[in-house]
A and B are shown apart, each in its own frame.
Chain A
Amino acid sequence: MASFPDKDWCADVHRRLVGEDPTASAELYKAIFSPLVGWLRVKGRTTDKELIRDAATDALVDYIKHPEKWNPGKATLVSYICMAADRDLLNALEKVQRIRKHEVLSADVEDEGFGRNVLPEDDGPADAIDGLLSALERQVTSETDRRFLALMLKGERSTDKFAEVLGIQNLSKQEKARTVKQHKDRLKKIIERLRNRLNAP
């Protein structure tokens, strides 16, 4: 694991950040980001690389934009940034848990609604899911769309995975995100239309 820079280096980069030196942020990032990510991994709160990377980034960005928040009398710069990143990671994990809990509850409600409105009362949940899938299969005929939809149903969140299905890995991050969102919106509309049609009296 890469090691953190020493106190003198930190004091120097802090002075330069306060003085608005435009390269200080880059030097800080390149010196602290990797050891910070390593430290968060070892701490073991999560194995999610993206959450760890985002927490490290958020803590560094916050310090870079507001270097005056650090009080050298209270903690070393490295401790200050590590604590901030750990706090950001805990907040992110709580948020993820809240979202997952909400998704599970929503899924339960949607499944109940679908079964009650669409299928005969005798049919069980497995039949309800089969009914939805068959209807979707008739509506979504393109192989790419089917693979894309399968990822959506699996709850996949990585834009790169969706981009891979669409064969647009080489586009810029922004273009990939835009294209993936367009496809998601289109498929969501199909699902929505299907749901409305099935729910119609």
Chain B
Amino acid sequence: MRLESDLVELRAAAARLEGDPFFMASVLADYRTALRLHDQHIAKALDCNVEALTSLAFCRTPRLDDEKLFLSDVQAIAKYVGCDWGELASMIRTAQSVSTLKRFSGGPEDQLLKAARDKHGDHDDPDKPKSRKR
């Protein structure tokens, strides 16, 4: 069994990877920042517990240039973490779109992300039941 101090260290290490697109930590950070969500919201959307997000953060970001590889990577990660692969795929695509939009427009984040926030508005309330379950 892992000690609490080990978990704290692991979470801190995962946070350090948030700027590195190689790791899922960056996808989680982009998604969290763009949609102004807490880890509890994200865990609920992915149908997993908050601790699982640390494992998720250390996973390699799925290969985005090939749909088949993307899906197989997402399913492998979801199986390892114990989350909903469909929601995970959607979250990665959203984070990817937000990141691309920001890169190309350089405009204010609030305006750019309004559409994304509207689309994912149901995440604002972590207690609200999910609208879609795979």
Contact = CB atoms under 8 A, between A and B. Distances in A.
B129 to A, nearest CB: 25
Given A54-B16, A65-B22, A173-B18, A25 B58 contact: yes
A45 to B, nearest CB: 17
What's the interface size class on A, roughly? 20 to 34
Interface in B1-49: 2, 6, 9-10, 12-13, 15-18, 20, 22-23, 29, 32-33
Contacts of A24: 60
B71 to A, nearest CB: 12
Interface residues of B, number: 29
Contacts of A27: 80
A25 B20 CA distance: 13
A53 interface: yes
A23 B18 contact: no
B77 interface: yes
Contact of B17 (A30, A61, A175): A61
Interface of B: 2, 6, 9-10, 12-13, 15-18, 20, 22-23, 29, 32-33, 55-63, 73, 76-77, 80
